Amino acid sequence: MADALGRPLAFILTGGEVADCKAYDALIGLPERAPDALLADKGYDADAIRADLAKRQIEPVIPGRSNRRVKIEHDRTLYKQRNRIERMFGHLKINRAIATRYDQLANSFLGMVHLANARYWLKFVHAA
């Protein structure tokens, strides 16, 4: 999960073959203030997720899957900001240990993700 500026806020570690949308339930309840919109890729295009977002009054900015019978429109202009999230992942993957996942234990890998996350946040902190 990232904020509107593409800064990482939270991570949930899942298995390698697990769909990203499986972490939705754990991540959506984390922020102290509910977001105005959820920008996500087609992997999050599920009726259950859309219903939950409607209940929480969060705008889903999720393109519909190609096999959907009824096409769902999304805000294309706002969806372009999802690029910030992809760039965040690119910055985190500069660390070789994250890009290749050499760690066999989930705790070791998650520790490296937290270190890379802290390093990434340092550029947003201004020295006094």
b/e per residue 42-75 (b: at least 16 CB within 10 A): eebbeeebbebbeeeeeebbbbeeeeeeeeeebe
Taking alpha carbons only, the member of 51, 41, 39, 3 closest to residue 19 is 41
Query: Helix 83-92 crosses helix 106-122 at what angle (to 10 degrees)?
Result: 110
* Number of helical H runs and strand E runs in the chain: 6, 2
Residue-level pLDDT at 83: 93
Q: What is the pLDDT along the chain (128 residues), one digit of tens a residue?
A: 888 888 888 888 888 788 888 888 888 888 777 889 999 999 899 999 999 999 999 999 999 988 888 888 899 999 999 999 899 989 888 888 888 888 888 889 899 999 999 988 888 876 54
Q: What is the pTM of this model?
A: 0.79
Token pair 């490296």 is found at 112
Token pair 């890379």 is found at 116
Class for the domain spanning 20-126:
alpha beta
Domain ranges of the chain: 20-126
